[in-house]
């Protein structure tokens, strides 16, 4: 269902731009967001929250495209950053290792791609243990399972506030990936299930300056799966939170030199 929804909206974006390529970018965005979807469209059948998430993501992504087109004469800056965070899956705290690459336009809007995983090279991170009910069998059976996941996303991040002591940003992303389940069916019997997933995630992040060389980072958001089994969606529809620090080693050395 989600694929046909996304295809319809993407085709609407392309069609709108072709019909009026000279229109202002803000007008194109408005037409996309306010467009009438046909009664036969699967978009009519999905929950309000999912509609709002899709429209919000498309708005930010289309705004990113428009902004990049209109600001080409201004300097763009390439960014490569770690983007790790933590989340709650099956009532357990799980780390997500992330790396993203993007372009920052006019020191305000950043857009790019990111890759995320609950484990890193099979060494760091951990699987989540949960009970999985297999409805494909008759009668249905439940098995202990270990779960991990990976996904690739496109994102848009906008700086709301920036001054000497604080930076506040909002981030939206759309991801495509998979969930891996390892079922323990018996003492010597196991089975693997791989399930594709699409998701949206919205977050708000603050970066606070404590010293000239140290910034504390904190944020909160929510992840929502657009497809998948109900038991998988229930486990993965959850908050995300970000805790970290950023150290400028050059300024740290300068600080030590001044004190000595």
Name the residue ranges covered by the structural domains of the chain. 75-256
Q: Is the pLDDT of residue 17 over 80?
A: no
CA distance 159 to 42: 34
DSSP 189: -
Instruction: Give the pLDDT score at 245.
Output: 87
Average pLDDT of 244-260? 81
Q: Is the pLDDT of residue 231 over 90?
A: no
Q: Are 28 and 66 in contact (CB under 8 A)?
A: yes
Average pLDDT of 202-223? 93
CA distance 12 to 18: 10
Q: Is the pLDDT of residue 2 over 70?
A: no
What would the pLDDT profile of 146-186 be if each residue is shown by its tens digit? 888 999 999 999 999 999 899 999 999 999 999 888 888 77
Instruction: Give the pLDDT score at 254.
Output: 83
CA angle in degrees (0–180, nearest 5) for 39-45-51: 100
Q: Check residues 20 and 65 and name the one with the higher pLDDT.
A: 20
Q: Check residues 248 and 11 and name the one with the higher pLDDT.
A: 248
Instruction: Please report the sign of the dihedral spanned by the C-alpha atoms of residue 92, residue 82, residue 2, residue 196.
Output: negative
CA distance 14 to 20: 10
Average pLDDT of 22-39? 50
Q: Which of 19-28, 208-217, 236-245 has the lowest mean pLDDT?
A: 19-28
Distance of CA 123 to the CA centre of its chain: 23
Instruction: Give the pLDDT score at 38.
Output: 46
Tell me, which fold does domain 75-256 have in CATH? Porin (2.40.160)
Termini Cα distance of the chain: 65
Q: What is the pTM of this model?
A: 0.68
CA angle in degrees (0–180, nearest 5) for 130-135-141: 60
What would the pLDDT profile of 52-94 be if each residue is shown by its tens digit? 555 555 555 555 555 555 544 457 889 898 898 999 887 888 8
Instruction: Give the pLDDT score at 11.
Output: 57
Instruction: Give the pLDDT score at 151.
Output: 94
Instruction: Give the pLDDT score at 199.
Output: 93
Q: Is the pLDDT of residue 117 over 70?
A: yes
Q: Check residues 144 and 53 and name the one with the higher pLDDT.
A: 144
């Amino acid at each position: 269902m989600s694929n046909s929804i996304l295809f319809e909206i993407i085709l609407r974006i392309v069609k709108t731009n072709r019909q009026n390529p000279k229109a202002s970018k803000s007008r194109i965005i408005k037409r996309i967001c306010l467009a009438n979807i046909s009664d036969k469209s699967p978009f009519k059948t999905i929950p309000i929250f999912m509609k709002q998430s899709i429209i919000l993501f498309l708005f930010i992504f289309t705004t990113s495209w428009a902004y990049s087109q209109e600001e080409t004469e201004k300097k763009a800056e390439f960014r490569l950053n770690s983007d790790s965070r933590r989340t709650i899956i099956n009532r357990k705290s799980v780390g997500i290792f992330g790396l993203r690459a993007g372009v920052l336009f006019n020191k305000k809007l950043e857009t790019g791609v990111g890759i995320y995983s609950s484990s890193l090279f099979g060494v760091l991170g951990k699987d989540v243990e949960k009970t999985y009910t297999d409805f494909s069998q008759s009668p249905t059976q439940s098995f202990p399972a270990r779960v991990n996941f990976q996904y690739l996303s496109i994102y848009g991040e906008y700086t709301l506030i920036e001054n000497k002591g604080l930076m506040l940003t909002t981030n939206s992303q759309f991801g495509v990936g998979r969930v891996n389940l390892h079922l323990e069916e018996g003492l010597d019997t196991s089975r693997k299930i791989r399930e594709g997933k699409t998701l949206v995630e919205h977050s708000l992040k603050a970066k606070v300056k404590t010293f000239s060389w140290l910034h504390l980072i904190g944020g909160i958001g929510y992840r929502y799966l657009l497809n998948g089994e109900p038991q998988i969606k229930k486990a993965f529809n959850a908050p995300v939170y970000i805790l970290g620090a950023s150290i400028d080693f050059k300024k740290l050395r300068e600080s030590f030199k001044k004190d000595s």
